[in-house]
Amino acid sequence: MKEMLPTALHQALFYWANKQPQHPFLLAEPALCYRQSANYVSALATQLSGSQRVAIWLEKNNHYALSILAALSGGACYIPIDSKQPINRVDLILTDAHADTLIVDDKHLQLVEPLLTKYPQLKVVLIGEKNTQQAANTSFFDWRLHLETEQPYTSEAWCTNNLAAVLFTSGSTGRPKGVQLTHGNIQHFVGWCQNNMSLGNSDRFLNLASFNFDLSTFDLFVCLAVGGSLYIANDDAPKQPMTLANVLSEHQITVMYCVPSLLNLMNRIGLWQQAEPLALQHLIFAGEVMPKPCLKGLASALPNTHFYNFYGPTETNVCLAYKVTEEDILNNEPVAIGLPIGDTQAWLIDEQGNPVSNESGAMGELVIQGSCVTPGYCLESQKQANHALQIHSTGDIARYHNGQYYYHGRCDRMVKISGFRVELGEIEACLLAHPQISEVAVRYCAHTSKLIASYALTDAQIKIGTLALKTYSAQHLPTYMIPHKFECFGTLPKNANGKIDYPTLAQVNDE
């Protein structure tokens, strides 16, 4: 890993604040230039002094991004929590990540207050315009007071191995996994983008991904690395196509990174035409398989745009990348996930863990090694020994063909829903904790993009409605993990080994 550049991660904010102080950094309200943003971050970093692990639970807006940069500038790592996470999951995250500080707004302070007695040492920072809340161990940060107050642009000393972020993903045991990313992990990806994507300070990035989703590291840190401008869309933006069209047009967005399912929706409703005139130059997709009809539709609607397919689980961030060619658009072959970026190495292994020869057509589980591989998980029980060697077995089946890797599904029961990684076992573990459910099986129907939960009750006389089960699930799971359909059985079908027979359930559910 090369020595960090002055434009590495949060350092870039202060670099550009000196170089181009009036250049717009954050485009959504409150719109802020680089100088104002650096003043805000420096002041908040001072208030976070002494913190090591800063959890952030805010509405998704400019304050969220600036809180991330302040945590890093103060020498801490950031632990992003989705604004709509249920309080039970927030509790797990605070515990497993060993958070010593929590940044909240008024809304989330009210939600988290019942938990604070459990964390007497937790320092809470409330971001707002006036202090309307008084809770134990809570300090107030009035951001408006600091925008025009010049601050010394300094940050704590750090190195590539310092922890930068802890991103929580779905876990098969029923407990989310906190993936630890170092400065070096993120900078490996950011540096590759700087060197390979022809980006500059005139570019305008659109952030759609939640900050607890690894796609967001591109939006924030690549934008900063090149001195660009960033529009942070709220959580509901992907569900409001007309609002999204207005943002693309009004702010002349040039760089957009999102999941294919959103692009598919935008194609279907003709959003690109509604957003004209467009300035979009780089459209990146990841997190799901790109359907070929969707890609052809994008190419037709956006003839002057470059398309990229990025690949990588949270444990490696982006580790393979592919730039779509004219030939890809014309043929009916799947879109490649590409080749390793930076110092990354990739190879295939068979079911016994033996390397598979990289001959054209070879298939196996994809294994990744390099600076992109994270140190592993927060909990010792979840850690993998190979991570110490910067090696990660992805659990993804890939094919090597014509000099590129292609994605061919999973080895296990993990699925991707709207780009989020979902372990079906985590949903099952949640539902099994319900006092009236004796057994449960959750499957994902690819044809309908629906999660289906089949369950049996402890007492056949008891009836539980779908609404009650959805309400129960919402208390423990993020929205995207709540099953769309619940089906009650007297007993779930079993195979010869006495295990739940998922293929039989699939036939029943799909009928």
Residue 57's nearest CA partner among 110, 132, 120, 5 is 110
The pLDDT assigned to 5 comes to 65
User: Could you tell me the fold of the domain covering 197-311?
Assistant: Rossmann fold (3.40.50)
pLDDT digits over 349-360, tens only? 998 899 998 888
Q: Is 84 exposed, middle or buried (0-12, 13-18, 19+ CB in 10 A)?
A: middle
Regions of the chain where pLDDT drops below 70: 1-7, 131-136, 154-157, 172-174, 380-383, 385, 495-499, 509-511
Q: What CATH number does domain 312-412 carry, 3.90.1010.10, 3.10.129.10, 1.10.10.10, 2.30.38.10?
A: 2.30.38.10
Domain boundaries, the chain: 25-153, 197-311, 312-412, 417-510
Residue 55 near residue 79 (C-beta atoms within 8 A): yes
pLDDT at site 260: 87
Taking CA atoms, 143 is separated from 32, 109, 235, in Å, by: 12, 17, 22
Q: What is the pLDDT of residue 293?
A: 86
Radius of gyration of the chain (CA): 23
Topology of the domain covering 417-510:
GMP Synthetase; Chain A, domain 3 (3.30.300)
- Class of domain 25-153 as given by CATH: alpha beta
**DSSP letter (8 states) at residue 338:** B
Q: Name which of 345, 350, 303 is nearest 324 in CA terms.
A: 303
pLDDT tens per residue, range 67-79:
999 999 999 999 9
pTM of this structure? 0.86
* Predicted local distance difference test score (pLDDT) of residue 112: 95
- Report the SS3 class of residue 375: coil
At 426-453, the pLDDT tens digits run 898 889 889 889 889 999 887 788 899 9
* Equal CATH topology for 197-311 and 312-412: no
Asked whether 60 and 81 are in contact (CB, 8 A), the reply is no
